[in-house]
């Protein structure tokens, strides 16, 4: 097993993060891994302003406003689930609709710092794909540094992009895709993984 293999094996979501301060150097090392992730879209080729990182402190004014946007989105999503009958079709959707109907957003900041990543849209539209590259790079770097990493997908779901972009100081006339993660030190000892749940191997070769 190579070093990369071991990182891939040990990468995992760590839900419980302590309040112990994370050194700025380590935080920026994880961000740098995301900054180095591949990008796509021909319109980005000769620019370097299409990817932004925002580090938001829990309890700050920006944090509270972001939580409000997430809360409103959860209420809207809960209503959509009921209106489209998804709660009857999918058990996880029923759980989500019930859990989020009051807009609870207390879990958005499960660590002292939330990193929000914004990827500007271009042609062809690949911004959401690129965010996947960014998050994976950051996740693996956090794993290497033994730092807890927990994706915060509700930020990706916010439909009120104009308000979110204004909050972060981005041009509201541009199109951005967003993702986010909580980062910090694990509150508990992280057990070494001996195996990894993964999809059944299904490879199809077309040779002629």
For 13-54, the pLDDT digits (tens) are 888 899 998 999 999 999 999 999 988 766 666 677 889 999
Q: What is the pLDDT of residue 65?
A: 97
Residue of 185, 176, 187, 186 lying closest to 54 (CA atoms): 176
Nearest 5°: phi and psi at 20? -60, 130
Greatest Cα-to-Cα distance within the chain, rounded to the nearest angstrom: 60
Look at residue 150 and give its three-state secondary structure. Answer: strand
- Angstrom distance (rounded) from CA 96 to CA 76: 12
Q: Where are the domains of the chain?
A: 3-58+109-184
pLDDT tens for each residue of 115-138: 999 999 877 888 999 999 999 999
- Angstrom distance (rounded) from CA 10 to CA 13: 10
pLDDT at 61: 97
Checking DSSP bridges between strand 113-120 and strand 148-151, what pairing results, if any?
unpaired
**Neighbouring C-beta atoms of residue 98, cutoff 10 Å:** 13
- List Cα–Cα distances, 150 to 28, 84, 133, in angstroms: 16, 30, 16
Q: Both tokens of residue 79?
A: 């209503």
CA atoms of 208 and 199, how far apart (whole Å) = 27
150, 14 in Cβ contact below 8 A?
yes
What burial class does residue 63 get, using C-beta atoms within 10 Å of its C-beta: 0-12 exposed, 13-18 middle, 19+ buried? Answer: middle
Query: What residue spans of the chain are helical by DSSP H?
Result: 3-10, 24-35, 61-83, 86-89, 91-100, 127-144, 154-157, 161-168
Say how far apart CA 175 and CA 157 lie, in whole Å. Answer: 14
Is the CATH number 1.10.8.50 carried by domain 3-58+109-184?
A: no
pLDDT tens, 146-203?
Answer: 999 999 999 999 999 999 999 999 999 999 999 999 999 999 888 887 777 788 888 9
Residues present in the chain in total: 208
The whole-number pLDDT of residue 162 equals: 96
Q: Which residues contact 62 (CB under 8 A, 6 or more apart)?
A: 56, 167
């Amino acid at each position: 097993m190579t070093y990369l293999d071991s990182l891939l094996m040990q990468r995992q979501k760590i839900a419980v993060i302590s309040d112990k301060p994370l050194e700025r150097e380590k935080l920026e090392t994880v961000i740098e891994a995301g900054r180095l992730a591949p990008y796509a879209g021909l319109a980005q080729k000769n620019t370097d302003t299409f990817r932004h990182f925002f580090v938001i402190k829990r309890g700050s004014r920006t944090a509270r406003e972001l939580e409000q946007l997430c809360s409103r989105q959860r209420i809207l999503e809960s209503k959509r689930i009921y209106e489209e009958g998804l709660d009857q079709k999918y058990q996880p959707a029923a759980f989500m609709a019930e859990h989020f109907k009051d807009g609870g957003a207390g879990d958005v900041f499960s660590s002292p710092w939330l990193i929000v990543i914004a990827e500007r849209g271009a042609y062809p539209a690949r911004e959401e794909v690129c965010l996947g590259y960014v998050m994976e790079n950051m996740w693996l770097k956090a794993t290497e540094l033994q730092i807890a990493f927990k994706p915060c997908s509700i930020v990706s779901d916010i439909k009120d992009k104009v308000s979110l972009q204004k909050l972060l100081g981005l041009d509201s006339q541009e199109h951005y895709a967003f993702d986010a993660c909580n980062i910090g030190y694990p509150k508990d000892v992280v057990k070494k993984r001996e195996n990894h749940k993964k999809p059944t191997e299904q490879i199809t070769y077309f040779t002629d």
